Structure 1
Amino acid sequence: MLMFFVTCPKGLEYLLADELKGFGFEPVRNAPAGVWVQGSLESGYRACLWSRLANRVILHLAEVNATSGDMLYEGVSAISWRDHLALEGRFKVAFVGQNDAIRNTQYGAQRVKDAVVDSLRTVEGARPSVDTVAPDLIVSARLHRGILQVGIDLSGDSLHRRGYRTEQGAAPLKENLAAALLIRAGWPELAANGGNFIDPMCGSGTLVIEAALMAMDQAPGLLREQFGFSRWLGHQPDIWAPLLQEATTRAVAGKAANQLSFTGFDQDKSVVATGQRNIERAGLEEFVVLNCRSIEEFDPTQPVSKAGLVLTNPPYGERLSERKALGPLYQSLGEAVKQALPGWRLGVFTGAPEVGHAIGLRSYKQYKLFNGKLPAQLLLFNIDKASETVARERTETGELFPKISHPERAAMLGNRLRKNRKQIGQWARKQGIECYRLYDADMPEYALAIDIYGNRVHVQEYAAPKTIDARVARERLAEALAVIPEALDIEPAQMVCKQRQRQTGTQQYEKHADTSEFFTVQEYGCQLKVNLRDYLDTGLFLDHRPVRRWIQQHADDKRFLNLFCYTGAATVHAAVGGAVSSLSLDMSNTYVNWARENLALNHVPASKHVVRQADCLEWLAAKADPGDRFDLIFMDPPTFSNSAKMEGVLDIQRDHAQLVRQAMARLAPDGLLIFSNNFRRFKLDRALESAFAIEEVSASTIDKDFQRNARIHRCWHIRHGSDFLG
């Protein structure tokens, strides 16, 4: 019997445990977002192929003492990696968790990687290589307190990626969550009894496709080109091949026997077109029909004699600029299904369950789940007169819209925003800046950072602590986002809301949307492009505004170097301030291009001001040309980074002394290095103070709008000492 840990979205653990029993597993225990089970390798393969709920199937190898980095390294080294990975093979490490000794996942992954490589390295130096794109093996390392659980990820890509959805509409629903909603709504039983399926707000079609796959006995992994075990040395093709043949046979039989209909509607032509392509990739074009139609035009266009299922994931109004439209939308949904589909079942998966009564039916069951990190509920209704009668009494009171739970508290927030805008806004106008922080969790009930970008508002919600109930946090956010447009006299569409959280690895560089909604803002005579929607950050770090202004005021006739340059805002200020030349480096092509566009906006000649894609760690480590020095250097590295484009892992606390020394090797004898970072617990290496002339200038780099959060970053001016010979 082998041990496996099978992961899933939070809230699906019990459903997953039941599903895994059907694959021959014996449940051991449930864990947050996963289930420990025992079984054969065949059961593991079957889970990879057939699980509709799992994310990953991890074959457990060992538990390792991880009370220190060295202990972790020794324990991982002791595992017989020759049984799993060829000497010339490629692998990657998926590391989660931290403790006092291993403070970030990048460091943990690096130690695991070193242990695997060193255990296989030959005397001649041959060794496996790291490949984060197409590895032969994925090593799973899950740290909890002092124990590291090490395993082999048999899945490869997460199993929710069936292979049919290579493009998606707005606010996509993951495939395994869609399958869980179908199971909770009783779809397998309804389908077995001849019921049909409808999603009246189908988006790109995930729910309707998953309903069809489930009803027609199609294995969700059948479309995948390969799994994580495909190039694993322990893979047993003689076990896998019959399972694959069985799934293929069942798929053909399921399609041949199907007599059900699967229908989706959506009013957005573009997402319907996307959904149609998803259906074709799933091989279901003969069975699933999508129509471009609004909920007001709802028409089943099919026989409805047998009870079926209506299941949908309507808009949540999460930006809450759309929240006022939710009541009428849900009311229209209720009226449509009551008129057209009596005797059917309705399931509504929503992040705004407080609007559910607008449907006009009494929910007989509610399941609390998560859509990503967003708390949500699946509301189930019987479409019948008995349910309708109870619900009508509440609907007639006119409570179709979410109410502000604490109007006095919300009014205090509105007053605070107006007061701040009057004071800080007046200061910003005098300074010649259009972007500033208006509010930074001034009231503990509303844990938000609210920034002004011209005539737009960027709202970031600080992740609520575990002591705050998710429903309470959601209500407070709803209150705040209802108040902000009125208090700041803007249209709701001018407001963007995100959840603010600690960035790790390459999250700064990850795209979160694809709106391409760029616009230009002014800062001390410089024009800068920003984008409030597509990335975690906007393209402009507001807290560094005083640093950029100082650079602009002191860059005349200077050679300027911008390391980890992001979108090049500091370089723009240097060029506008009269820098004779500049070099800006960043590892992200996206931000390198963005920086070039910022320079072009300000008519800065590209021949003198160069932006280049480069790993700054590698560039700094290379030998400096004594004749190629810079008069002014700005270096603001991330706290942690483990980009695939970098050779190693950057930990600013551990590595800053080396970075500073390498940067100083590029600095002219009378030049200045501006070194900054935003790690709250950062301590400058004292050895640097004996090597260079160092002055902390943090206090002078905090503007009026950030004085409530004065430790948002720290900053030093570093010069060569008097004994420097050049």
Structure 2
Amino acid sequence: MSDRFELFLTCPKGLEGLLIEEAVGLGLEDAREHTSAVRGMATMETAYRLCLWSRLANRVLLVLKRFPMKDAEDLYHGVLDIEWQDHMLNDGTLAVEFSGHGSGIDNTHFGALKVKDAIVDKLRTPQGDRPSIDKLNPDLRIHLRLDRGEAILSLDLSGHSLHQRGYRLQQGAAPLKENLAAAILIRSGWPRIAAEGGALADPMCGVGTFLVEAAMIAADMAPNLRREQWGFTAWLGHVPALWKKLHEEAVERAAAGLAKPPLWIRGYEADPRLIQPGRNNVERAGLSEWIKIYQGEVATFEPRPDQNQKGLVICNPPYGERLGDEASLLYLYQNLGERLRQACLNWEAAVFTGAPDLGKRMGIRSHKQYSFRNGALPCKLLLIKVLPDQFVTGERRTPEQRQAEREQAVYDQAPSEPQERKYNKNGNPIKPAPAPAPVIEQPRLSEGGQMFANRLQKNLKALGKWVKREGIDCYRVYDADMPEYSMAIDLYHDWVHVQEYAAPKSIDPEKASARMFDALAAIPQALNIDKSRVVVKRRERQSGTKQYERQAAQGKFVEVNEGGVKLLVNLTDYLDTGLFLDHRPMRMRIQKEAAGKRFLNLFCYTATASVHAAKGGARSTTSVDLSKTYLDWARRNLSLNGFSDKNRLEQGDVMAWLENAREEYDLIFIDPPTFSNSKRMEGIFDVQRDQVQLIDLAMARLAAGGVLYFSNNFRKFELEPNLSERYAVEEITAQTIDPDFARNGKIHRAWKITAR
């Protein structure tokens, strides 16, 4: 065989430029970039060195042959022509990978099969011995790439992908591949910072991939030093003596690197479930003396080992895939920006993000950005110098002011000179007054964000006196007042519940997303609410019982007050919270009219109206709903107010329940869903279609002189005119709209119905 070989090094898309620099540094000659690959010439020693030392490549492919190919027969004979007995034993194991299409090969499985057939036919003995297929751990892994009519047949020297270093046996939900993590560290300047003795901190370290890769770079440890199985291990062209020499050199370099004083490398992770897996990964990598992992939130992240230490803060924040992630991610980025400004002055930072718009919300500018791909997801690496003139605040500063701030920052962090001690009249030393804490400005709201904050504060002030007079602490403070900010915002005591309405198709999704982030940034400041108490949901157009379906499973309830009663709301688990705020006037009306009456609450949901009726002195309450979950919730609401007695909860289909009921009631409330097709009921309920039957059944249960209140939220609902012929019907919608819903008079419609 030749002393020089053609090599293909594959890599994730976007890493080609970094890989070619690394590969040339390791000895690759005549190097050229390709999409997701680098090509060049090398000796066997360089090929081994690339396998051992490349931090960025996925695979090292040694080209065995190139040949033109017009069809499947050309493919078969081109592979058959190789002296395969020089590469593997007759009874060895084999795996074939095929990429590309054309020349009559449109199916990669068919192409791989033709390659396998040629190799097996070449090596089959008269006794019937022949290679077998082993896709997991073959003796030889062959790759054929078809490129514009040319077949490139290669031997995979790496075996399993080189990103699999072997230390990460445990990983989190969205792991970053090791070679991508190494590329991000290199782009972030970590090799330079490490050479200068700098520190490294990851405030969202997961299972520690950045930490381990950073420590291996700093300690001069070959990334694949601990790998035992290679693609060349059973290859007949393998040169064990040469490999042993290179491996021993790498072992010696690692030993020398690890013998140096460890750099300060620390990881912090909020999820306690990831702490031990991360520590286990560090231990498997042999880097326990260099890396420490602690549990901690980003908001309390404090990376500095001492006042004079500088270094790199690096992290890969979550991208957000679940309902309500917008708020938590925005505040995560804001917290990260705050911690960088407060605790990492004069450090460098690198934020790898799949949501670059959120990166702009950190309140600090990036001086450079690089594009990467994390699998199929386009991402950005934001490089930041944590200096005052990079902070984005509400105050515009002149260049002279910025220079003064930089000089002051350097002065503030310099070791202080010894000060002369002062003593009081008793001879005891007087402690100097503590230096005032530095004032860190909050990130400046965008123009739109400030406008939105102003509107919230205006609404809050306008509702203030009414809220205090009525004794409520849960109400709507904003409902798409400004069309470009399409959301509803409700206050529940010291929590904020945000429902983002689906934007019309005519609105650019990027603009809608940017406005949402503007609003989320403004909400905590405008309403003086902690960021952690903002819950965001997206409300699409609902059908059936979708609005009641479970969205999460946190099971966390918040107690709120309304008109002298206490009610439980759940802000996270369902699209609705367990309390329809717009029906507050109806509940208060029921409370005032319930004294001594028998109250029936149909489609009762969490029975908040029943609680009000009991508060008003109802003789008894009966609440009917099909959902056991909501009846359990209703039971808790009643118990919370001491109304467990004389308050009956009935599970069942309301229509069927009414048909079988015989009792009479003095006060009835019906607030039906627009549509329901629950598996636990017979047929389908449609409020527009079934209203007459429903009201007739309910009126049959109404005692003489009694009142039935009927309400619903279906915007297109029309009450059947013939009901007015049999009953006294009065629309009272205007009387059931409180000031917090005054802008949305169509939020619901309500009627008072009595016997003629």
What range is the shorter-chain TM-score in? 0.5 to 0.7
Is the 1:216–1:258 Cα contact (8 Å) retained in structure 2? no
Q: What is the TM-score normalised by the length of structure 1?
A: 0.56
Aligned to 1:23: 26
Q: Does residue 168 in structure 1 map to residue 182 in structure 2?
A: no
Note the C-alpha offset of 1:303.
1.9
Note the C-alpha offset of 1:337.
1.6
Q: Where does 1:170-569 land on structure 2 (aligned, <5 Å)?
A: 170-300=173-303, 302-319=305-322, 321-389=324-392, 395-397=444-446, 485-488=539-542, 494=551
Mapped to 1, the partners of 2:47 and 2:312 lie a distance apart of 32
Note the C-alpha offset of 1:396.
2.4
Look up the equivalent residue of 1:397 and give its one-letter code: S
Show CA shifts across 1:575-629 (max 9, x none).
xxxxxxxxxxxxxxxxxxxxxxxxxxxxxxxxxxxxxxxxxxxxxxxxxxxxxxx
Note the C-alpha offset of 1:323.
2.5
Mapped to 1, the partners of 2:75 and 2:511 lie a distance apart of 40
Q: Does residue 62 in structure 1 map to residue 116 in structure 2?
A: no
Moved over 6 A (4+): 390-394, 398-401, 442-447, 471-475
Note the C-alpha offset of 1:23.
1.0
Is the 1:485–1:491 Cα contact (8 Å) retained in structure 2? no
153, 157, 167: which is aligned to 2:156? 153
Aligned to 1:417: none
Mapped to 2, the partners of 1:386 and 1:287 lie a distance apart of 33
Mapped to 1, the partners of 2:192 and 2:25 lie a distance apart of 16
Aligned to 1:49: 52
Look up the equivalent residue of 1:487 and give its one-letter code: R
Mapped to 2, the partners of 1:96 and 1:295 lie a distance apart of 43
Cα root mean square deviation, aligned: 3.4
Aligned to 2:523: none
Is the 1:310–1:344 Cα contact (8 Å) retained in structure 2? yes
Q: What is the TM-score normalised by the length of structure 2?
A: 0.54
Mapped to 2, the partners of 1:387 and 1:322 lie a distance apart of 27
Query: Judging changes above 3 Å, is the alpha-carbon distance between structure 1 residues 444 and 340 closer, same or farther for their aligned structure 2 residues?
Result: closer
Show CA shifts across 1:212-239 (max 9, x none).
1110111101111121111111000111
Note the C-alpha offset of 1:258.
3.0
Mapped to 2, the partners of 1:299 and 1:290 lie a distance apart of 13
Mapped to 1, the partners of 2:136 and 2:181 lie a distance apart of 27
Is the 1:194–1:306 Cα contact (8 Å) retained in structure 2? no
Local SS of the residue matching 2:154:
strand
Look up the equivalent residue of 1:374 and give its one-letter code: L
Aligned to 1:706: none
Aligned to 2:81: 78
Local SS of the residue matching 1:346:
strand
Aligned to 2:641: none
Mapped to 1, the partners of 2:367 and 2:304 lie a distance apart of 27
Is the 1:304–1:341 Cα contact (8 Å) retained in structure 2? no
Local SS of the residue matching 2:391:
helix
Look up the equivalent residue of 2:319 and give its one-letter code: Y
Local SS of the residue matching 1:227:
coil
Mapped to 2, the partners of 1:57 and 1:490 lie a distance apart of 53
Look up the equivalent residue of 1:294 and give its one-letter code: E
Task: Report the structure number with the largest CA radius of gyration.
Answer: 2
Local SS of the residue matching 2:182:
helix
Aligned to 2:37: 34
Show CA shifts across 1:365-391 (max 9, x none).
000000111100000111010101479
Mapped to 2, the partners of 1:29 and 1:358 lie a distance apart of 39
Mapped to 1, the partners of 2:549 and 2:349 lie a distance apart of 31
Is the 1:358–1:400 Cα contact (8 Å) retained in structure 2? no
Note the C-alpha offset of 1:483.
9.5
Query: Judging changes above 3 Å, is the alpha-carbon distance between structure 1 residues 379 and 269 closer, same or farther for their aligned structure 2 residues?
Result: same
Is the 2:323–2:537 Cα contact (8 Å) retained in structure 1? no
Aligned to 1:624: none
Mapped to 1, the partners of 2:355 and 2:548 lie a distance apart of 21
What stretches of structure 1 of length at least 5 have no aligned partner? 415-441, 448-470, 496-726
Q: Where does 1:702-721 land on structure 2 (aligned, <5 Å)?
A: none
Note the C-alpha offset of 1:243.
0.5
Q: Where does 1:636-655 land on structure 2 (aligned, <5 Å)?
A: none
Note the C-alpha offset of 1:445.
11
Is the 1:357–1:400 Cα contact (8 Å) retained in structure 2? no
Is the 2:323–2:538 Cα contact (8 Å) retained in structure 1? no
Work out the number of aligned pairs and report it. Answer: 437
Mapped to 2, the partners of 1:345 and 1:165 lie a distance apart of 27
Look up the equivalent residue of 2:145 and give its one-letter code: R
Note the C-alpha offset of 1:322.
1.2
Q: Which region of structure 1 is more displaced relative to structure 2, 238-247 or 293-302?
A: 293-302
Local SS of the residue matching 2:367:
strand
Q: Where does 1:624-635 land on structure 2 (aligned, <5 Å)?
A: none
Note the C-alpha offset of 1:194.
1.0
Q: Where does 1:569-648 land on structure 2 (aligned, <5 Å)?
A: none
Look up the equivalent residue of 2:445 and give its one-letter code: E
Look up the equivalent residue of 2:88 and give its one-letter code: L
Show CA shifts across 1:269-323 (max 9, x none).
1111111110111011121100010111212262241320000000111446412
Show CA shifts across 1:309-350 (max 9, x none).
000000111446412322111010011121111100010000
Mapped to 2, the partners of 1:126 and 1:167 lie a distance apart of 40
Aligned to 1:104: 107
Note the C-alpha offset of 1:82.
1.3
Query: Judging changes above 3 Å, is the alpha-carbon distance between structure 1 residues 107 and 367 closer, same or farther for their aligned structure 2 residues?
Result: same
Look up the equivalent residue of 1:197 and give its one-letter code: L
Mapped to 2, the partners of 1:391 and 1:141 lie a distance apart of 59
Is the 1:197–1:262 Cα contact (8 Å) retained in structure 2? yes
Query: Judging changes above 3 Å, is the alpha-carbon distance between structure 1 residues 338 and 484 closer, same or farther for their aligned structure 2 residues?
Result: closer
Look up the equivalent residue of 2:18 and give its one-letter code: L
What stretches of structure 2 of length at least 5 have no aligned partner? 397-442, 453-479, 487-503, 518-535, 553-756
Mapped to 1, the partners of 2:97 and 2:65 lie a distance apart of 15
Mapped to 2, the partners of 1:324 and 1:27 lie a distance apart of 50
Note the C-alpha offset of 1:64.
3.0
Mapped to 2, the partners of 1:446 and 1:492 lie a distance apart of 29
Show CA shifts across 1:508-535 (max 9, x none).
xxxxxxxxxxxxxxxxxxxxxxxxxxxx
Q: Does residue 118 in structure 1 map to residue 121 in structure 2?
A: yes
Show CA shifts across 1:247-287 (max 9, x none).
10011110111341110001001111111110111011121
Aligned to 2:703: none
Query: Judging changes above 3 Å, is the alpha-carbon distance between structure 1 residues 351 and 16 closer, same or farther for their aligned structure 2 residues?
Result: same
Note the C-alpha offset of 1:148.
1.9
Note the C-alpha offset of 1:37.
1.1
Identity of aligned residues (%): 45
Local SS of the residue matching 1:207:
helix
Aligned to 1:138: 141
Query: Judging changes above 3 Å, is the alpha-carbon distance between structure 1 residues 75 and 100 closer, same or farther for their aligned structure 2 residues?
Result: closer
